[in-house]
Amino acid sequence: MAHPIALSTPLGTVTGIEERGDAGSPLLVCIPGGSYNSHYFDVKGHSLLAAAHDHGFPIVALDRPGYQGSDALHGEITYAKHAQVLNAAVAELWKQYSDSATGVVLIGHSMGGAIAVHMAGQRPSWPLLGISVTSIHTDAPEPVTQAWNSIPADATIPFSKEQRIQFMYGPEGTWDPEVVDDAEVATDLIPVAELLEVVGGWTTDFTTLATEVTVPVHYALAEHEGLWISTDEGVQAFAAAFTASPSVTAERVSGSGHNLDHHHGSGEFHERQLAFARTAAAAARL
């Protein structure tokens, strides 16, 4: 069972949850998306932490600044600042794992995927082996962009259960009705500044940010995306932006919505993420 952790860094405290693993495996560090805390990756019946533990991986899911017990950012809220804080948190983690783990693989969902790209581009002090980036893109439907831009920029808001179903889950039959309630423990308020960046600066800066990533990349976008325009061509174009990466694998995940980790296919998807982590770790040893 995952247990809570708190990491003290020069940039503030970062909290999260952790499952220990076997020596000789990469450490997986998970970054949740907007309006979700670290428990997003540990929902009953859909837990990436449990799947990783079963395969011997040590895994930590972190609460981004302002979520759960993590200190909020001072001043402007940006993904780059999130990345600075989380890079410092992983540096503290690495002090605990450097004798047993082979390096770090980042797993970022939605805005957490955008932040993982920033983290990789900032050239962290710890050994980054690869990044798995999911449920993020640069082509949002116009109604989504209009919705986020209509909210005051300095507000912090909740998403209702109905909004989560609308935006974050695929059609009925692709997920169990209970999962939305089971995931309630993972929900949180979201600063509107995060929403504005995801349809603003992120969409214009991504191409440049992607060229700064020099490790293997796994990218996945759901077939039934509620927050992005999902096409095979769009998935391949996004993946192609990682021009400095030694390898990029990309997939459009059928039968799933934005919260890839909470749909019927989550188990198989997690197996592919874990396989990517193994491959990235093996490539680093060559």
Rounded (5°) CA angle 220-247-262: 20
Return all residues near 147 (Cβ < 8 A) that are at least 6 apart.
Answer: none
What's the Rg (C-alpha) of the chain? Answer: 17
The token duo for 187 is 């929900």
The token duo for 210 is 């992607």
Number of domains in the chain: 1
Pick from 94, 34, 35, 31: which is nearest to 63 by CA? 31
User: Containing domain of residue 274, as a range?
Assistant: 3-285
Whole-angstrom distance, CA of residue 22 vs CA of residue 68 = 28
Q: Output 175-179 pairs: Cβ under 8 A, ≥24 positions apart.
A: 175/257, 175/262, 175/263, 175/264, 176/45, 176/264, 179/43, 179/45, 179/46, 179/262
Whole-angstrom distance, CA of residue 246 vs CA of residue 266 = 27
Q: What is the predicted pLDDT for the residue at 284?
A: 87
Number of H helices, E strands in the chain: 10, 10
In this structure, are residues 12 and 91 in contact, taking their beta carbons and an 8 Å threshold? no
DSSP category for residue 183: G
Whole-angstrom distance, CA of residue 154 vs CA of residue 185 = 25
pLDDT in single tens digits along all 286 residues of the chain: 799 999 999 999 999 999 999 999 999 999 999 999 999 999 999 999 999 999 999 999 999 999 999 999 999 999 999 999 999 999 999 999 999 999 999 999 999 999 999 999 999 999 999 999 999 999 999 999 999 999 999 999 999 999 999 999 999 999 999 999 999 999 999 999 999 999 999 999 999 999 999 999 999 999 999 999 999 999 999 999 999 999 999 999 999 999 999 999 999 999 999 999 999 999 988 6
The continuous run of DSSP H or E covering 194 comes out as helix 192-198
Neighbouring C-beta atoms of residue 70, cutoff 10 Å: 24
Torsion of CA 226, 190, 263, 131, to 10 degrees: 90
CATH code at position 237: 3.40.50.1820
Q: What is the predicted pLDDT for the residue at 285?
A: 83
